[in-house]
Every structure is written in C-alpha cells, then in structure tokens.
Amino acid sequence: MDIRKNSGVVKWTLIVLCSSFLVVFLILPLIYIVVTALRSGFQAYWNSITDEYAIKAALLTIEAMVCAVVINTIFGICAAWTLTKYQFRGKKTISTLIDLPVTVSPIIAGLIFVLTFGRQSFLFPFLDRFGIQIIFAVPGIILATVFVTFPFISREIIPALAAQGTDEEEAAAQMGANMFTIFRKVTYPHIKWALLYGVVLCSARAMGEFGAVSVLSGHLRGKTNTLPLYIELLYQGYDFNGAFAASSVLVLLSVVILALRMWLEKRGAKEIDVRK
C-alpha cells in the first residue's frame, strides 16, 4: 500500500484529530489570554503592561535570556568542538552530562543551587566575604536560566560539526591558518544555522523558565521577579487582568521567536541545500 496516496478515512481522521488537538490545547488558550487581557478595555490593558513592576520583570526576563544565550553559546561551541574534534576517555560521560538539565526537574535544579550557594553551603562564607549574593538575587536567576537551557545550543551544533568531519580544518591548518581563522572561515559557516536555531530554542526556553528561577528568586517585586514569576504573583493576587496582560507580552515574545525559528529553518535549509 502506498501510504502517501491513501486519501481515505484514515488520513482525514488523523488530520481532524491533530487539528482539534492543536485548537483545544493551543489556539483556544491563546485566544483566551488575549481576550481576558483586553476584557476591561484597552486602557486597563495598557496600564497593566506599562506598570513599573511589569516592565522591570520583562527587562529582567530579557536580561536573564541574553545572559543564558551568551553563556550557552560560548559553552555550546566549546563543548561541541571538544566532543566532535577530539578523541579522549570520558567523552561519552561528558556527552551524557550535557543532557542532564533536560532530565532533571527545574525545581530540583533550583534546590541544588540553593544548597550549593545558600547559607548552609560551605561556599557561602567565601561568597559572603567577597560580597557576592547568588541566592535571591539576579545572579541566581541567571544561573538557574543557564542551567535549564544548558544543552539547547550544544545539542544543535554537535550533529552539524560531526557531519562535517575534520578534513577541512586540517587542510586550513596545513596551509598555516591559526585556530581563530579556521573557526571563522571554515567551521563557523558550517554551524551558523544550527547555532542560530539553538539560540532561538534557548531564548524561548529561557524566557519561559519558571521552576528553577522560582526557587532561587525569592520573589522580590521589582528586583528578582521575572515575567513568569510576576504573572504568577498577579494571578495569586486575583489580578486576572494584570496577569493575562503580562501573559500576552510573553506570548507575543514567543510568537516573535516562533516566526524567527520558521524563517531560520527556511533560510538554513536553502543554504545547506546549495553547499552540501
């Protein structure tokens, strides 16, 4: 049976099933968010999203996101390079450890950091002496965000680098190119699209992170509240208008990222097609 030519009941049942699933679980809630946010009129909506604390929360979210992307990009490239270009003992272990943050519940991740850097930790006196505050402060939020988005970029680059092999780098090195030139001219073009795609995934995940950040933040309004935490705070305080208005901002950011992702996929596929 040629499965692609089957235009019968099965095909349409599946299409309807998928579509209704998406409508019920995705489209409806999204519409509901927008509708609820605007229920008390546009002025109230505008007031909610331009609230001092809302803006601070949004800025902190973006700050944590940018930090996570930058740190994970650097780490991701280093890790991917190490895992694909060198042979060494313990390579498998490193590769597995990179994936750990995805399997560990974010709440646990948060607790781990509280235990590592909090008052009961042996590290605390050192940190305290140098005036470094991690728990219930911005560094803690960034740390938590970096942790949960850890594998996103490296996992995207590793297959791209592995597929490329080391021939071209070797050829460049043989002609006398230094490491930086080799990376810029030979390696980077290979991983460009994978890297950008990883950045997009990492951003999306960083923006929405709740669990780990929640444990580490301390919920100081205007100081350590990220957008998701702020939304929860409003929601718990029965301020539905405010909660949904802030949510709509987060949704908007997600839509932007989704659009970016689609554009990247298209561009990337096109270019890879040409240069393979």
Residues that bind other proteins (CB under 8 A): 167-168, 170-177, 181, 185-186, 189-190, 274-276
| HSE (side-chain half, CA atoms, 13 Å) at 25 | 6
Q: Of 99, 214, 116, whose CA–CA distance to 158 is shortest?
A: 99
Q: What is the closest distance, in whole angstroms, from the C-beta atom of residue 176 to other proteins in the complex?
A: 3
Residue 251 one-letter amino acid = V
C-beta closer to other proteins: residue 155 or 190: 190
C-beta closer to other proteins: residue 160 or 245: 160
Q: What is the closest distance, in whole angstroms, from the C-beta atom of residue 186 to other proteins in the complex?
A: 6
Q: What is the closest distance, in whole angstroms, from the C-beta atom of residue 229 to other proteins in the complex?
A: 43
Contact assessment for residue 147 and residue 101, using Cβ atoms and an 8 Å cutoff: yes
Exposure letters 38-47 (e unless 16+ CB within 10 A, then b): eeeeeeebee
Which run of H or E residues covers position 255? Answer: helix 240-275
C-beta closer to other proteins: residue 28 or 171: 171
Q: What is the closest distance, in whole angstroms, from the C-beta atom of residue 188 to other proteins in the complex?
A: 9
C-beta closer to other proteins: residue 20 or 181: 181
Alpha carbon of residue 208 to chain centroid: 8
